[in-house]
Amino acid sequence: MFILFESLDRDNRGCLSPDDFEALGGLAMNPIGGRIMEAFFSSGQDTVDFSSFVRILAHFRPTDRNRNKEGAQQELPSSRTRKLKFAFQLYDMDRDGKISREELLQVLRAMLGLQVTEEQLQSIAERAIQEADLDKDDAISFDEFKKSLEKTDIDTKMSVSFLK
Amino acid sequence: MATLWRFTLFLCMLLMACGGLSLASKEAKTRSSQTETGTHNTTEEGGHGAGPITTLPIVTWKWDHISVQYLVALWVLVCWLCKLLIEANHNVTNYIPESALLICSGFILGGMIWGADKVQTFSLNPTVFFYFLLPQIILDSGYHMPNKLFFTNLGAILIHAVIGTCWNAASLGLSLWGCHMGGAMGDLDIGLLQYLLFGSLMAAVDPVAVLAVFDQVHVNEVLFIIVFGESLLNDGVTVVLFNVFDAFVSLGGGRINAAEIIKGIVSFFVVAFGGSLVGIAFGILISLLTRCTKNIQIIEPGFIFVMGYLSYLTAEMLSLSAILSTTFCGVLCQKYVRANMDESSVQTVKYAMKVFANGSETIIFVFLGISAIDKVIWVWNTGFILLTVFFVFVYRFIGVFFLQWILNRYRLVPVELMDMVIMSYGGLRGAVAYGLAVLLDEKKIKEKNLMICTTLIVVYFTVILQGITMKPLVMWLKVKRAAVAEVSLLEKITNKMFNHTLVAIEDISGQIGDNYFRSKWRHFEEKWMTPFLMKPSARKKQDDVFDVFHQLNLKDAMEYVTEGERRGSLEFVRNDSAILDFKKKLESEYTEAMPDIPPYMIHDDGNLILIAPLEIYLIRKLADHIPSVSLEMHEQTMKAMREPEAVDVHHLLDQHLYKSRKQYRHGFSRSDFKINRDEKEVQEIFQRTMRNRLESFKSAKMGVSPPKTLVKYSKKEQAVTDSCNGREKGHPKYGHLRCSTHLPFQRVKQLGKSWFKGR
């Protein structure tokens, strides 16, 4: 893992900066590449050191179902809740704990913008919020997000095999 | 119950008639051959060429002309009636799978025929089976295959299909030969090669049987797709093995050397890949064809069937794997066909395919039962039969467990132990094995009848016994069942986001994983295949999330129609809440758009009911373009405005209306500064306005409590509304409008015109 870190760290400062990420061409093409980058740089810092890098990547470890079925599960970074939290953060750019309609619209626009008209995007965002929004505050909180995704198999969808 | 008995009685009579007819046809045939020498015919003969007639026959008995067709149709009818009888009682089908019951009815029918004829006149003919009954089932499987799931698990499926089947064939053949050598089977004239041939035809898991049994059990999708995919793809191996060993048997043991074996291995690759390529070629042809068939929508669905069948036959003609060909044809064309064709054509294809596939399946199982009741083929050899059943069962378990254990190392989510048990238990043999057995050449293989018997017994064992015990076993082992897939938009969006995230993470970590390939494939597809194979208009709507959105809308629209029909009567809509936001929007936007249709307020029993211009527009639209639509539909859209999804209904209606609008001409323009405006531009503005309005309707409704004041609109409209208020309050005309359930088209037009002219 450290080798990987070093290979990304172009100017050998011992930590990563946004330029290092941008150098990865694929990431630039990715519709939500910017957001993922933001997720690495948490709490307004400008650089990512090795430990936080690893911590973020640890979110993508496949969940080990067989071990520790007791409460210890919650603390593991790769547990389901942590994965969901990470996903939530990708939507919630301003970190206010809720996904507002605007934020959802932005994500939709980034992912679908070319094929769908603006009104349709708005309707889709509208409908998505309605489906998940249980307390009718016109935004999706983390609990509502978790609830609406309870049937999805997050463990498979948010895991990368080589991180085992 | 009485109807059930009546049905059964009818069925028996039908069969007696059928048996009698076939008997008569036989007798007629023998008699006609006797009378050909010149003696004149009796009236039973009928038809020309049977002898000179002495007087003009008014009605003749033309059985000979149509005997084949009649029997075919009659048998199809009888098989489907059996299915009808079976499905009449759901309690039974919960425990015993339908396929098992169909085989049993086949036994009964066979018994009746045997009783009538003393010889089995009907059985499952391999030609009929392979060329008329099997193709549509495979086409149906391919067309309805969940592509994403299939390709995600393709590795596992291929390994099981190729290596698993080879293992099954080899182990079965060798063990039986070993037992033969050991003397467990008594005196049989079967050599090693023939054992291997038998093993190869016994090895294949049958897609028809798997579908029939797993259909009712609803196991989790990964498990299902692995078993089902394996049953489809192993045809490639089966065909090769069967042909190779068949050729080896003909060549004789002496001539087999390394060259032949190498040729055998090469032929596997040729057959498998060749078959797939044929299928892909036909899939592309179908997609291209549906791209251009906009003008013949009426027979558009037919193309899928014809081309699918042609792909099967072409592969068969080139001695490649026909099942692989048809499967890949279906898998490839499903996306493009669904995008290119009209909604009604897509539905037609879906339902027609189901009819054909299910119908064929029924016929196959019934005839599998009937074929058993035939004294000629029954040769009993305890050792052979029991050992075969035992080995088939055991080697399947060993094969699956071993392969899956290796595969689990490379899987992200390993397949659980219980799932593996079900996978092995679900290795059902079926009609394909029987068909291949009947195709054996009896001159080369003396014990053909024994093999046919054994095959039948194995088929019955797997389909009936394993089928019956499958559901209890699944429940006992607590195997994960299929999740009831209720799709929500947020899930879909998040899924998409996860995909992108994973690609990004893979990028960051510099590793090439699954997702990399998937995104590369998606790019390739979007860039090259979609423009080539899909209609330009369809291309725009290509997206998962939008698809889900569209589906949800449609579902709501349907629900509202049924709900509205159920409720029937009118309900007045309280739309006051919308008025607040309406004011804001109206003042700025819609006045430019449609100043000549001011908002229209009805005072009714103290409530304010709004018929906004857009609704009036809708009324007119509906009336003009759908002549007999009742205004009740309008009522329902209004009433439906209360609920959130209604907006989508409106949206839906709106979209369709928008399309037809292009021909509509406004006949009521009040102000003349509108005349120079381009019609399209007006449409666009109106469109946008309507959307925004719907947006505000919804948002207003969600939070704001409805006030009960009469809201005056902009000053421009003040005069208008004032002048109209007098009329509005009384409402003889429009109140009338609201109250009536069916207002004929003429009346609405009248009302509309008069209302506008009257000002």
E strand or H helix that includes residue B526: none
CB contact under 8 A, B543 and A21: no
- Closest chain A residue to B689 measured between Cα atoms? A119
Per CB-CB distance under 8 Å, the chain B contacts of A132 are 488, 490
Nearest 5°: CA angle at B333, between B327 and B339? 150
Interface mutation target, options B409, B496, B498, B501, chain A, most CBs of A under 10 Å = B501
CA nearest to B132, candidates B72, B70, B204: B72
- Closest chain A residue to B655 measured between Cα atoms? A120
Per CB-CB distance under 8 Å, the chain A contacts of B503 are 26, 30
- Closest chain A residue to B552 measured between Cα atoms? A127
What is the interface pTM, i.e. ipTM, of the complex? 0.79
Q: Does residue B103 fall inside a structural domain?
A: no
CA nearest to B161, candidates B276, B263, B80, B261: B276
Domain count, chain B: 1
Q: Which percentage of chain B shows pLDDT scores above 90?
A: 21
Looking at residue B586, what is its pLDDT? 43
CB contact under 8 A, A123 and B651: yes
pLDDT surpassing 80 at residue B289: yes
CB pairs under 8 A between A and B: 138
Q: Does residue B173 fall inside a structural domain?
A: yes
pTM, to two decimals: 0.69
Dist. CA B479–CA B224, nearest whole Å: 12
CB contact under 8 A, B489 and A151: no
- Closest chain B residue to A37 measured between Cα atoms? B504
Cβ contacts of B129 within 8 Å, gap of 6 or more:
B364, B367, B431, B435
Q: Categorize the per-residue pLDDT at B704 as very low, low, confident or very high, splitting at 50, 70 and 90.
A: very low
What phi and psi values does residue A74 have, to the nearest 5 degrees?
-65, -30
Question: What's the whole-number mean pLDDT along residues B380-387?
Answer: 85
Give the residue numbers spanning the domain of B442.
126-477
Q: Which of A4, A131, A163 sits opposite B490 (nearest CB)?
A: A131
Q: A11 CA to chain B: closest CA distance, Å?
A: 16
Interface mutation target, options B494, B539, B541, B652, chain A, most CBs of A under 10 Å = B494
Cβ contacts of B739 within 8 Å, gap of 6 or more:
B570
Give the CATH number of the domain where residue B356 resides.
1.20.1530.20
Q: Does residue B394 fall inside a structural domain?
A: yes
Per CB-CB distance under 8 Å, the chain A contacts of B500 are 30-32, 111
Dist. CA A153–CA A137, nearest whole Å: 27
Domain layout of chain A by residue ranges: 1-61, 78-163
CB contact under 8 A, A124 and B552: no
Sign of the Cα pseudo-torsion (A68, A72, A78, A84, in order): positive
CB contact under 8 A, A128 and B483: no
Q: Does residue B675 fall inside a structural domain?
A: no
Cβ contacts of B409 within 8 Å, gap of 6 or more:
none
Looking at residue B77, what is its pLDDT? 95
Looking at residue A80, what is its pLDDT? 75
Question: What's the whole-number mean pLDDT along residues B78-85?
Answer: 92
CB contact under 8 A, A112 and B546: yes
Q: A71 CA to chain B: closest CA distance, Å?
A: 22
Looking at residue B12, what is its pLDDT? 59
Instruction: Tell me if A145 sits within 8 A of A83, measured CB to CB.
Output: no
Higher pLDDT, A14 or B287: B287
Looking at residue B125, what is its pLDDT? 85
Instruction: Tell me if B582 sits within 8 A of B615, measured CB to CB.
Output: no
Q: Which fold has domain A1-61?
A: Recoverin; domain 1 (1.10.238)
CA nearest to B323, candidates B314, B335, B336, B332: B314
The two tokens of residue B637 are: 């859209």
Residue/partner pairs of B20-27 with CB below 8 Å, 24 or more apart? B20/B116, B21/B63, B21/B67, B21/B70, B21/B71, B22/B71, B22/B117, B22/B121, B22/B122, B23/B116, B23/B117, B24/B63, B25/B63, B25/B64, B25/B67, B26/B121
Q: Does residue B670 fall inside a structural domain?
A: no
pLDDT digits (tens, 9 = 90+) for B166-222: 999 999 999 998 888 888 777 777 788 888 899 998 888 889 889 888 888 888 888
- DSSP H helical ranges for B527-586: 530-533, 536-539, 544-567, 576-585
DSSP β-bridge partners for residue B724:
none
Q: Which of B490, B504, B651 sits opposite A27 (nearest CB)?
A: B504
Task: Tally the C-alpha atoms within 13 A of residue B481's C-alpha that lie toward its C-beta.
Answer: 15
CATH class held by domain A78-163:
mainly alpha
Q: Categorize the per-residue pLDDT at B28 as very low, low, confident or very high, splitting at 50, 70 and 90.
A: very low
* DSSP strand pairing (A139-141 vs A98-100): antiparallel
DSSP A77: T
E strand or H helix that includes residue B609: strand B607-611
Q: Categorize the per-residue pLDDT at B403 as very low, low, confident or very high, splitting at 50, 70 and 90.
A: very high
- Closest chain A residue to B698 measured between Cα atoms? A126
CB contact under 8 A, A151 and B486: yes
Dist. CA B94–CA B92, nearest whole Å: 5
CB contact under 8 A, A36 and B412: no
Per CB-CB distance under 8 Å, the chain B contacts of A115 are 540-543, 546
Instruction: Tell me if B466 sits within 8 A of B425, measured CB to CB.
Output: yes
- Closest chain A residue to B692 measured between Cα atoms? A119
Q: Categorize the per-residue pLDDT at B63 as very low, low, confident or very high, splitting at 50, 70 and 90.
A: confident
CB contact under 8 A, B490 and A148: yes
Poorest-confidence range of A8-17, B192-201, B388-397, B491-500?
A: A8-17
The two tokens of residue B157 are: 């499926």
Poorest-confidence range of B126-130, B218-222, B463-467?
A: B218-222
Per CB-CB distance under 8 Å, the chain B contacts of A134 are none
Burial bucket for residue B233 (CB in 10 Å: 0-12, 13-18, 19+) = buried
DSSP track, B145-173:
--HHHHHHTHHHHHHIIIIIHHHHHHHHH
Higher pLDDT, B597 or B79: B79
pLDDT surpassing 70 at residue B59: yes
pLDDT digits (tens, 9 = 90+) for A118-160: 887 788 778 777 777 777 777 778 888 777 777 777 666 667 6
Q: Does residue B461 fall inside a structural domain?
A: yes
Q: Does residue B520 fall inside a structural domain?
A: no
Looking at residue B78, what is its pLDDT? 93
CB contact under 8 A, A124 and B545: yes
Q: Categorize the per-residue pLDDT at B753 as very low, low, confident or very high, splitting at 50, 70 and 90.
A: low
Which of B338-352, B410-424, B494-508 tops mean pLDDT? B338-352
Looking at residue B583, what is its pLDDT? 43
What phi and psi values does residue B481 have, to the nearest 5 degrees?
-95, 170
CB contact under 8 A, A26 and B504: yes
pLDDT digits (tens, 9 = 90+) for A78-94: 577 777 777 777 777 77
Q: Does residue B184 fall inside a structural domain?
A: yes
Higher pLDDT, B49 or B275: B275
